[in-house]
């Protein structure tokens, strides 16, 4: 069965600090994708990244970076030099057949000025 | 912007009342999904569709039905609303690129069942 665990329910940081969000997953599939979505206070869900299990290279996009480690079934997300606009709930997700997403419970990030 | 709209955006209804939520997309995507979001649970799949008149259940389908008579519209019906169905409902489409599929979400519908 598919499962995604985001153990951190809430993280509070001061602006310019780095913050890392953990995502641990379970799947029996040998190849799969992993996703991160952002949900700002306005409520919409914003796609951030899709990662193929074949590719374990770290991904960097501006202040965002992702560390995928297949050996530990983790796909962690780091925000470098956090800003107030990064305050949001972040979800990790894993699809199964038919691209049906299984989501983690989400991590709320609060960045204080 | 994946061209997804949801209506209504907010609704208050009473227990036992039928409710229909609409998801509309403009880009001819084949796959469409309905999720509900509740605190501590992330999003959970209710139903999905893989084409016109082709639908299937997700993990929390009890009390819900769906219909898709046109590619662009995917309707979610609460046959007899209960307070446990108070939630935020998100519609999604799946967009295919050369590397795989990515889901994009509509703005959500906030439903309160009294």
- What average pLDDT does range B84-101 have in this prediction? 90
pLDDT of B2 higher than 70? no
Q: Which residues of chain A have a pLDDT value below 50?
A: none
| Nearest neighbour of B45 by CB, restricted to A9, A33, A101 | A101
Contacts of B10 in chain A (CB under 8 A): none
**How many A-B residue pairs are in contact by the CB < 8 A criterion?**
58
Contacts of B90 in chain A (CB under 8 A): 45
- What average pLDDT does range B12-36 have in this prediction? 96
pLDDT for position A54? 84
| Nearest neighbour of A43 by CB, restricted to B35, B102, B108 | B108
Separation of alpha carbons B8 and A106, rounded Å: 25
Are B100 and A33 an interchain contact pair (Cβ–Cβ within 8 Å)?
A: yes
Q: Do the Cβ atoms of A43 and A37 come closer than 8 Å?
A: no
Separation of alpha carbons A3 and B63, rounded Å: 24
- Output the six-digit token pair for A35: 């996703």
Coil, helix or strand at residue A72 = helix
pLDDT of B40 higher than 80? no
Are B41 and A105 an interchain contact pair (Cβ–Cβ within 8 Å)?
A: yes
| Residue showing tokens 């519908």 | B109
pLDDT for position A109? 98
H-run or E-run covering B50: strand B42-51
Q: Do the Cβ atoms of A63 and A80 come closer than 8 Å?
A: yes
pLDDT for position A78? 96
Least confident of A80-89, B36-45, B71-80, B84-93: B36-45
Are B100 and A50 an interchain contact pair (Cβ–Cβ within 8 Å)?
A: yes
| Residue showing tokens 């153990």 | A7
pLDDT for position B70? 96
pLDDT for position B18? 97
Are B94 and A103 an interchain contact pair (Cβ–Cβ within 8 Å)?
A: no
Separation of alpha carbons A73 and A90, rounded Å: 18
CB of B98 within 8 Å of any CB in chain A?
Answer: no
pLDDT for position A75? 95
Are A98 and B99 an interchain contact pair (Cβ–Cβ within 8 Å)?
A: no
Closest CA to A91 of A105, A101, A78: A105
Q: Do the Cβ atoms of A34 and A94 come closer than 8 Å?
A: yes
pLDDT for position B39? 84
Average pLDDT, chain B: 94
- Output the six-digit token pair for B1: 């912007």
pLDDT of B1 higher than 70? no
pLDDT for position B68? 97
pLDDT for position B96? 85
């Amino acid at each position: 069965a598919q499962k995604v665990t985001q153990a951190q329910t809430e993280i509070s940081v001061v602006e310019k600090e780095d913050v890392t969000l953990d995502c641990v997953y379970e799947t029996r599939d040998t190849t799969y994708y992993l996703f991160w979505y952002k949900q700002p206070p306005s409520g919409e869900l914003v796609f951030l990244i899709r990662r193929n299990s074949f590719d374990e290279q770290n991904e960097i996009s501006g202040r965002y970076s992702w560390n995928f480690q297949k050996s530990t079934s983790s796909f962690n997300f780091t925000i470098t030099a956090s800003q107030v606009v990064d305050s949001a709930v972040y979800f990790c997700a894993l699809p199964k057949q038919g691209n049906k997403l299984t989501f983690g419970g989400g991590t709320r990030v609060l960045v204080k000025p | 912007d994946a061209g997804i709209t949801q209506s209504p955006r907010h609704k208050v209804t009473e227990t036992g009342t039928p409710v229909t939520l609409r998801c509309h997309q403009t880009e001819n995507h084949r796959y469409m999904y309905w999720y509900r979001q509740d605190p501590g649970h992330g999003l959970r799949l209710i139903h999905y569709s893989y084409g016109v008149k082709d639908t299937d259940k997700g993990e929390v389908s009890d009390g819900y039905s769906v219909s898709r008579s046109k590619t662009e519209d995917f309707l979610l019906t609460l046959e007899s609303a209960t307070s446990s169905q108070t939630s935020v409902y998100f519609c999604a489409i799946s967009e295919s690129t050369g590397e795989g599929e990515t889901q994009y979400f509509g703005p959500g519908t906030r439903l309160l069942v009294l």
